[in-house]
Amino acid sequence: MVRFNAESFYAHPVGKVLTVAAYLGLNISLNMVNKWTLSIYGFRFPIALSIAHMAFSFFALSPFMLTKSMREQHHSTLSKQWPGLLFISICFAINVGLNNVSLTTISLSLNQVIRASIPVFTAIGAVVIEKKPPNRQEFLSLLVLVGGVSIAVYEGSGTKSSFTGVVLCLIGTACNGLMMSSIGRLLSEKLDVLRLTFYTAPLTLCVLVPFFNKLEAPGYYQYAASGTAGGAYIVVILLGCLNALLYNLIHSLVIKVTSSVTTTVIGEMKIVLILLLSAVVLGESDVWTVKMMIGCTTAILGFCMYSHGRMMAGAQTVPVIIKGVPELSPSLTDTLRSPLLAMAGKPSRS
């Protein structure tokens, strides 16, 4: 009888290809499902959607995280790391909340181009917080990236609602960059992506709930009571939550079985595929004016230049990303990577 060996499978080229394909597919589908739910399907409650993602991830991970071996780590981690975890949760709440709100007024294409500028905000944070300026190649690539994003933003913010969406997306992206630049000073223990999600999800939810009560609760309760969508919207939300959870699980696996080169290429492929698929599947082809194409192409070029510059600078580990919103792999500074990543195959120690 042939027994399945997980380690051998993931070490095999076929296993790695399937893992990367699943990671890329879940990354892309999560962005597209969020946009489809908030815009085309008509569930226009982005903060409620963010809360659902956080709650689902926490409760789905609880059976595993509450096993005896995991429980022994929680007290030590939380007692030492709570300031950093609280900071991550606040920044993440702003990041994912504003990102989802922006998807109700701007295209997914423009959203992704703006979020490709995360390295710019991370670099600014590195200069201010870590006193670590970018080298010449990184600086030039960031200039190209800023130029491309600026062209795309100028072309895509023609109406008042879209301008608001652009501003919100920019604020969320800037907050994400701030978090990435400063978190290395706040977390000293190595945390894998699942533990990080388990710890921050309830805190992020608590940050988002007051904003939901103030901005969305009356409209949501009316929507739910009207019966217009029936119970189908709950199924749609749960499918998105499941997508987010599966993304976290496969991402934790990708961290162990791939290299920084692979994740850099995935980040570049992801943004290009989302731009193409959003035009075909979500009907966003009308936003592709000549200026928008020039801006997106320039931004992607700058992002690729920055990615490969970081990659060629030396060996790098894969960044931790908590869901919510999939990010782009080369956007983290070296000082952030080490405290957040668990060493492959080794449990975190208290």
Digit-coded pLDDT (tens) for 68-78: 888 888 888 88
Interval 236-285: pLDDT, tens: 999 999 998 888 778 767 766 765 556 666 766 777 888 888 888 888 87
Q: What is the pLDDT of residue 208?
A: 94
Interval 191-220: pLDDT, tens: 777 788 889 899 999 999 999 999 999 999
Interval 139-193: pLDDT, tens: 898 899 889 888 888 877 776 668 888 999 999 999 888 887 777 677 777 777 7
How large a percentage of the chain has pLDDT more than 90?
A: 20
Q: What is the pLDDT of residue 216?
A: 94
Q: What is the pLDDT of residue 258?
A: 66
Average pLDDT over residues 81-102: 89
Tell me the C-alpha distance between 97 and 74, whole Å. Answer: 27
Q: What is the pLDDT of residue 334?
A: 38
